[in-house]
Amino acid sequence: MQWKRLVLAMLCEIIYNDESQPVDYLFLEVNPAFEHMTELKAKFVLGSSVQDVLPQTESRWIDKFGKVAQDEDLQAILAA
């Protein structure tokens, strides 16, 4: 359930390519739970993309967040 709490601790904007596939996301808001679980400070991540902040992020996570944004279905992440 740690991921469930993490998902609820940030607001992101999904970045899509020309084929409407999610390729990255921007951190718009994070709360103290996000900072605690990731050890990343808001001042470091806000306005940055996940590829810039965490370049080792697997594309499957970007795909999952894109799925949530398109379908508004958190189950896409919780079923990971």
Q: Across the strands, what pairs with 29?
A: 11
| Average pLDDT value over all residues in the chain | 83
Cα(9)–Cα(52) distance, integer angstroms: 19
1 pLDDT more than 50 = no
Q: Parallel, antiparallel, or unpaired: how do β-strands 22-30 and 10-16 relate?
A: antiparallel
Q: Across the strands, what pairs with 1?
A: none
User: Taking the domains of the chain in order of start, what are their residue ranges?
Assistant: 2-78
By the 10 Å C-beta count (0-12 exposed, 13-18 middle, 19+ buried), 41 is classed as exposed
- pLDDT attached to residue 17: 94
Cα(64)–Cα(77) distance, integer angstroms: 6
